Amino acid sequence: MKKKIPLRNAILYWLKLGFISFGGPASQISMMYDEVVEKKKWIDDKSFFHALNFTMILPGPEAQQLATYLGWLMHGRIGGFIAGTLFILPSFFILSFLTYIYIQYSDNIWGEGILYGIKAAVIAIIFSSTIKIAKKVLKKYYFWLTAISAFFTINLLNINLPIIIIIAGLVGILFQYLFYEDNKTDKGHTIDKTVIKKSVKTFYKALLIWLIFFLVILFLQEEILINLSLFFSQAALVTFGGAYALLPYVFQNIIESHGWLTAQQMIDGLALGESTPGPLIMIVTYVGFIVGWYNDILNISNPMIGALICAFIATFFTFLPSFAFIFIGAPIIELSKKNKNLEIPLNFITSAVVGLIANLGFILAYNSLLSDNNGTRYFDIHLFILIILSFLAITKARVGILPLLITLGLTGIMIKIYF
């Protein structure tokens, strides 16, 4: 990274992204690539995909971790903390507000229409950005084969995302060994021991932060708060594959093991999560809010205060490991960019990531376009037209993401009212 980026400019961008990052990880990764790499040129292609490869194999929300990594690249730990926090902060307040509205009032056509229009914009953003990324990454036929294989593997064989990433890396290592003779003797670069020591210190600092917060909760002797902190800490550490792996885990345990929410409340929460910016796993904020609202937390007798406390705890313990993973691993991962022995395997991993992002866009489009009406499936022609127009607006008219989201949200309301 050679370009000096003012911290103020970065803060404004991450704050804006926090408000417009609709559509889940595939859309958010696409948005970051389009702005940070393509338009602003703050990060080069190699650094972006190197960071993306690392975050894709970590447990937890990959898009938020990628934002943290990119912020760290530009401005060190303070930059990473700002990027990762601003990526989720708007969503925390928006989702808390919407959860309150959900508790107090029934759904209305306005919210449904906004979600409908935004869905079309999100699908278009994913596909347009996937095409851009594919042009940059898939320069050899075997990279195309890797991307296509990843696309079909996750669909047909139902293999977890991290396993696909690992397999792609192993295939890359084998490919390099068989066909790149010159790299066999390349010893690469040794990892600086000081970097390892700093990463170890960061690990202990993160553990200390977790312990301090947890001890405070233990001191309060509120069973629900203790269970929330332990559950979401565990969920953040064991669910590889990002939000799409974390959500089923959260659904099953919250409904069946803890009984905090009903199945219908979880489905409604997922709808709210999809209609707000930020990581899809911000549904944990919704879960915490609901739990706090319907339980008298700390005998406060004020459901709003209890709801916000539980929402904060659920969010904090979910995302603390994400920051720790980046600040611990990013310095080591960056050093590996200098090692030529890793170049081909990483290219294979990046190619697989392209296929996986395309798959997420395909699944969202398929499920959205084929709507269920009284037990019968029908093709949603209105949504299809919105997707095509959004795609053309992005690729041909170069319309910005924020104006597109606003326009499509208003258009969605009109379609729901008149059709």
Q: Which residue blocks in 187-275 are alpha helix, DSSP H?
A: 193-220, 223-238, 243-252, 263-274
Cα separation, 239 vs 233, whole angstroms:
11
Any domain includes 140 = no
pLDDT in tens, 7-23: 999 999 999 999 988 76
Mean pLDDT of the chain: 84
Any domain includes 237 = yes
Any domain includes 297 = yes
Q: How many distinct structural domains can be found in the chain?
A: 1
At residue 190, the pLDDT reads 56
Of the pLDDT bands very low, low, confident and very high (cuts 50, 70, 90), residue 248 is: low
At residue 243, the pLDDT reads 59
At residue 166, the pLDDT reads 84
Any domain includes 176 = no
Closest CA to 13 of 61, 79, 58, 92: 79
Answer with the residue of higher pLDDT: 190 or 174: 174
pLDDT in tens, 250-290: 766 777 677 788 766 776 776 677 678 888 788 899 999 99
Cα separation, 171 vs 332, whole angstroms:
23
Any domain includes 286 = yes
239 Cα distance to chain centroid: 13
Any domain includes 17 = no
Please check the confidence at residue 162 and state whether its pLDDT lies above 80: no
129 Cα distance to chain centroid: 16
At residue 155, the pLDDT reads 76
The percent of residues in the chain predicted with pLDDT above 90, rounded, is: 34
Any domain includes 162 = no
At residue 143, the pLDDT reads 92
At residue 236, the pLDDT reads 85
Any domain includes 245 = yes
At residue 137, the pLDDT reads 79
Cα separation, 27 vs 118, whole angstroms:
12
Minimum mean pLDDT among 85-94, 197-206, 375-384: which range? 375-384
Where in the sequence is the domain holding 284, given as residue range(s)? 204-324
